[in-house]
Amino acid sequence: MKIKFLDLLKQPITNSYLKSLSKKVLKKEFFYKLIVLFDTSNFLVTISQPLDPKKQYTNKYAHRASQSTTMKKSFKIIARKLQLRFKPKTSMEIGSNDGVFLKNFKKNKIIAIEPCSNLAKITNKQGYLTYPNFWNKKLAKKVLKKFNFFDLIYSANTISHIPNLKETFDSINMSLSENGVFVFEDPYIGSVLKMNSYDQFYDEHVHLFSFIAINNLVKESDLKIFDVELLPTHGGSIRFYVCKKTGNHLVSNNVKKLKNKELRQSLHKILTYRKFAKRVKKSKKELISLLIKLKKKKETVISYGATYKSATIFNYCNIGKDLISYVIDSTKNKQGKFTPGMHLPIKSSDNGIPDEVRYVFLGAWNFIKEIKKKEIRFIKRGGKFITHVPKVKLV
Ligand code: TMP
């Protein structure tokens, strides 16, 4: 049974930055209701109305994974680690974005899948064969006509975006060599509960994974988890190591440890999610009242990072230009546009936080270390960051 536990109200498509605020553009803006469910039979947390992926992953997709040095480093490390541990002869990446992971492989040793054709174009140009398609059974069959089974399939921040997990995992099983491994990582629901980071829910995050949920789901596709890791990336992620049910990989101790930890934390009980929903409401109240207090003091507040996550916060808390004047971001194709739903102007972060600004909301709170390093001047002159994780506070 799927039980509703969180209502994040009307939300836009997070990747839809607006070029202008003309009547025509505003009329076209798409909204949906963001409601989050817990499935009591397999423990999966899912949004109630996944959007049509063709609306989300278009040829105008804005996010570039290689924008962040934190992510670049982390992909380099995992690529090396996987090559050493599994020595794959053939590899595939699902959801290759701008090639930040691929770059760590020889061009003839890996192929990629990336439905956003503007991104697939980038990696195809770099010489990495990239299929500009969605991952599903049809595509898996097409790929297998040309290539052998894969020793390694890797995917970061993509599997949780796909509504049909059964078909996804079945297609993975079809594509793996006998002892091939499927390694994938996505934001972790355990971290969301701990950090109160409700902004991890947005249109692209169709599911938020726990170990116990994925363990149930991969079994249905004759796969098994043989190792698992918790990671600091994206504010807390989980990396699964999966092989065929008959694969010869020994099951690591991490598997049992994490399963027990999640059961102790009651990630299999609806009550846990209901309590979280209460904390989310409290967080909203506190953030709004802090921003109103600063406004009364005539402070200019801006936001750092035109992130997808912050779109959830601004729309859920109804934070518009009256409370946050604008957003700064280093991504060229976000600059000069407006954030989805609340329409905050996006400016360049190239020159750092302007001198007249003393308060900055951390839209990209998961990159706080990287941002602090860049913004030493702001910190030295007494500037304060506002965060909502794990509680609304100034840092
Ligand atoms: P993400 O959390 O969805 O990966 O998005 C991070 C956004 O934050 C992305 O648009 C780039 C932006 N950003 C900056 O503008 N400056 C920075 O220093 C960092 C780390 C990110």
Do 299 and 248 lie in a common domain?
no
Q: Which of 215, 245, 262 is a domain's end point?
A: 262
pLDDT in tens, 111-165: 999 999 999 999 999 999 999 999 999 999 999 999 999 999 999 999 999 999 9
pLDDT given at position 162: 98
**Domain containing 252: what range?**
49-262
Do 8 and 65 lie in a common domain?
no
Domain membership of residue 42 (yes or no) is no
Do 188 and 249 lie in a common domain?
yes
Any atom of ligand 1 within 6 Å of the Cβ of 349: yes
DSSP designation for 284: H
In this structure, which residue's CA is closest to atom 15 in ligand 1? 329
Any atom of ligand 1 within 6 Å of the Cβ of 371: yes
Could you give the number of structural domains in the chain? 2
Do 114 and 217 lie in a common domain?
yes
Do 303 and 385 lie in a common domain?
yes
Domain membership of residue 43 (yes or no) is no
pLDDT band at 67, cuts 50/70/90? confident
Any atom of ligand 1 within 6 Å of the Cβ of 312: no
Domain membership of residue 312 (yes or no) is yes
pLDDT in tens, 196-240: 999 999 999 999 999 999 999 999 999 999 999 999 999 999 999
Q: Which of 262, 288, 312 is a domain's end point?
A: 262
pLDDT in tens, 265-293: 999 999 999 999 999 999 999 999 999 99
Q: Which of 262, 284, 319 is a domain's end point?
A: 262
Q: Which of 307, 332, 362, 372 to probe ligand 1 with, by most ligand atoms within 8 A of CB?
A: 307
Do 258 and 276 lie in a common domain?
no
- Closest to 197 in 3D by CA, of 395, 394, 8, 4: 8
For residue 298, what is the domain's CATH number? 3.40.50.720
Do 252 and 306 lie in a common domain?
no
Domain membership of residue 227 (yes or no) is yes
The DSSP code sequence of 159-211 is GGG-S-HHHHHHHHHHHEEEEEEEEEEEEBHHHHHHHT-GGG-STT--EEB-H
